[in-house]
Amino acid sequence: MLTSPALGTILLDCGMHQGGSWERRTQQEAFLFNPLSIDAVVLSHAHLDHSGMLPKLVHEGFTGPIYCADATADLLQIMLLDSVGIYLGDLERENRQRARKGKSLLEPSYTEEDVHATLSQCITKNYGEAFNLTEDGHVTFHDAGHILGSAIVEITFSERNKRKTLVFSGDLGNKSAVLMNDPAILTQADVVLMEGTYGDRNHRSIEDTVEQLITILEDTQKRGGNIMIPAFAVGRTQELLFYLGQLHHRGLLENWQVILDSPMAIEVTKVYDRWFDSLDNDEIEQATPSVHSLLKDFIPRLFLSVTPENSMAINKIKQGAIILAGSGMCTGGRIRHHFKQRIWDSRNTIIFCGFQAKGTLGRLLVDGKSMIKIFNDSYAVKAQIETLGGFSAHAGQLELIEWVSNFQSNPRIILVHGDPEALDCLSQKLWDEKGIESEIPILDQSIAF
């Protein structure tokens, strides 16, 4: 949150925590401020850990503008409508249990009407075009290269006859991501709020990652198994489809059926197709010429599983299926149903392609949990667990250090958005390697500049 007489009170993103029950998480989220005090929201991108609490903010009285990049609004509609459906379904199940126990029922923290109100409050802007928040303050979005529509936020305003600039990185993209442009470079700021999701490690090269994927395909095929990939609907799914399409054109998918079992990911991929011209087309053309759609003919044996009946039919496939299903951290969605059918079978493989937050089922599996609970039943984890680091949509440690090192104005660096261990490691690396001091704020801390 940024407060200034020149700007009013501006909220930078409004996301939900990851992990745990969707219903309990949403019910327990509480704002540390009065939503009525917010004059505007500036949204960096559509991922739910940055946008998921916007409907609750609106439900509690926020009526101001929500500024975002053009493509973000397209994705936001899909993601918020999907999330409210999951939330209300979880809440309904919780209330049935409470009713049986004679407990009072819970009221929803927000509804579908709040989602539609949220979307109606969105005002979209292009990259690189400054727009006024107030007479003395303006905002410019720059391409963050993370997902479609992701933005680095630059806010400039006057206070006490002094011009000040705050830069909020949002989530910075992985420079090896084939569909995304590299994050924009900025050089001037008084304060930089930078994410540190991967502040403690770097990603494998994309070349090594693709070779690892090929090896996993070969090994799983020899075992007569299937592959399950918990799919982040925005960004990761589209990158995976691209590289699977490349493998098809190399003749390496002849014995595999690719299944996209996520209605939301299907709709998001359609949005990516509509914005294809804004993606990193030079790199796309170099990698695979004349690709203009991720859904049409790029992977001939791609099956789009939309209905519950489609999804249940996948259970009949004995081997040779690559199943991409939500959610990416296994906190909900159809991937958990596929785990029920296959996680106990050592012929199968689960591939994780992105960050798994603490408290999520995905994190438990990556950490080597041998028994898990799904829908209150216990399952032995016998499937092979693999992690592909190169497909991450986030900048790794070296890229974060490189990005922030471009600032020439010696700004104050504030590290945000990452596990404490990752932020601590990044802070130390910045000092040891670049002599850059940085701060890690605590919850509800105020920073004056």
pLDDT of residue 351: 96
Tens-digit pLDDT profile for residues 67-116: 999 999 999 999 999 889 888 988 998 899 999 999 999 999 999 999 99
Helix (H, G, I), strand (E, B) or coil at 150: coil
The model's confidence at residue 356, banded by pLDDT at 50, 70 and 90, is: confident
pLDDT of residue 443: 84
The model's confidence at residue 299, banded by pLDDT at 50, 70 and 90, is: confident
Structure-token match 């409050």, residue found: 121
pLDDT of residue 362: 92
The DSSP letter of residue 288 is: S
Helix (H, G, I), strand (E, B) or coil at 140: strand
- Record: fold of 206-391: Rossmann fold (3.40.50)
**C-alpha distances in angstroms, 437 versus 273, 401, 410, 412?**
42, 12, 10, 8
Listed range (57-66, 109-118, 285-294) with the worst mean pLDDT: 285-294
The model's confidence at residue 27, banded by pLDDT at 50, 70 and 90, is: low
Question: For 92, left (φ over 0), alpha (ψ -120 to 50), or beta?
Answer: alpha
CB 110 within 8 A of CB 93: no
The model's confidence at residue 352, banded by pLDDT at 50, 70 and 90, is: very high
The model's confidence at residue 217, banded by pLDDT at 50, 70 and 90, is: very high
Give the tokens for residue 449.
């500049």
Helix (H, G, I), strand (E, B) or coil at 266: helix
Whether 2-201+393-434 shares its CATH topology with 206-391 is answered no
The model's confidence at residue 289, banded by pLDDT at 50, 70 and 90, is: low
Question: For 43, left (φ over 0), alpha (ψ -120 to 50), or beta?
Answer: beta
pLDDT of residue 201: 93
The model's confidence at residue 163, banded by pLDDT at 50, 70 and 90, is: very high
pLDDT of residue 359: 84
Tens-digit pLDDT profile for residues 224-235: 999 999 988 898
Listed range (117-121, 254-258, 294-298, 345-349) with the worst mean pLDDT: 294-298
The model's confidence at residue 424, banded by pLDDT at 50, 70 and 90, is: very high
Q: Which of 209, 301, 286 is nearest to 255 (CA)?
A: 301
* pLDDT at residue 280 greater than cutoff 70: no
**H helix and E strand count, the chain:** 14, 19
- Tell me how many degrees the CA angle 323-276-195 measures, rounded to the nearest 5: 75
CA gap 105, 128 in Å, rounded:
48
CA gap 234, 227 in Å, rounded:
20
Contacts of 272 (CB under 8 A, 6+ apart): 148, 179, 238, 279, 294
**What mean pLDDT do residues 116-138 have?**
95
pLDDT of residue 26: 60
Can you give the residue ranges of every domain in the chain? Answer: 2-201+393-434, 206-391
Dihedral of alpha carbons 212, 214, 215, 219, sign: positive
Helix (H) / strand (E) containing 66:
strand 66-69
CB 221 within 8 A of CB 314: no
The model's confidence at residue 119, banded by pLDDT at 50, 70 and 90, is: very high
- Tell me the backbone φ, ψ of residue 124, rounded to 5 degrees: -95, 150
* pLDDT at residue 295 greater than cutoff 90: no
Helix (H, G, I), strand (E, B) or coil at 64: coil
Tens-digit pLDDT profile for residues 427-438: 999 999 999 999
* pLDDT at residue 297 greater than cutoff 70: no
Asked if CATH classification 3.50.90.10 holds for the domain at 2-201+393-434, the reply, yes or no, is: no
CA gap 167, 61 in Å, rounded:
27
CA gap 95, 84 in Å, rounded:
16
Structure-token match 């409470």, residue found: 98
CA gap 355, 393 in Å, rounded:
9
What percentage of the chain carries pLDDT values higher than 70?
Answer: 94
Q: Which of 348, 354, 120, 141 is nearest to 237 (CA)?
A: 354
Q: What is the mean pLDDT of the chain?
A: 91
Tens-digit pLDDT profile for residues 363-399: 999 999 999 999 889 999 999 999 998 888 899 999 9
- Tell me the backbone φ, ψ of residue 247, rounded to 5 degrees: -65, -35
pTM across the whole model = 0.88
- Tell me how many degrees the CA angle 315-319-321 measures, rounded to the nearest 5: 75
**What mean pLDDT do residues 178-186 have?**
92
pLDDT of residue 235: 87
CA gap 244, 260 in Å, rounded:
12
pLDDT of residue 176: 84
The model's confidence at residue 24, banded by pLDDT at 50, 70 and 90, is: low
Give the tokens for residue 386.
């693999």
Listed range (19-23, 53-57, 126-130) with the worst mean pLDDT: 19-23
CA gap 202, 254 in Å, rounded:
33
**C-alpha distances in angstroms, 119 versus 9, 78, 108, 123?**
20, 10, 19, 9
Most confident of 275-279, 340-344, 417-421: 340-344
The model's confidence at residue 274, banded by pLDDT at 50, 70 and 90, is: confident
What letter represents residue 416's amino acid? Answer: V
CB burial string 218-254: b at 16+ within 10 A, e below:
eebeeeebbbbbbbbbbbbbbbbbbbbbbbbeeebbe
With residues binned 3-state (H G I as helix, E B as strand, rest as coil), the percentages for the chain, rounded to 5, are 35, 20, 45
Packing angle, helices 70-100 and 112-120, rounded to 10: 160
Does the bond joining 120 to the residue before it have cis omega, within 30 degrees of 0? no
What letter represents residue 270's amino acid? Answer: K
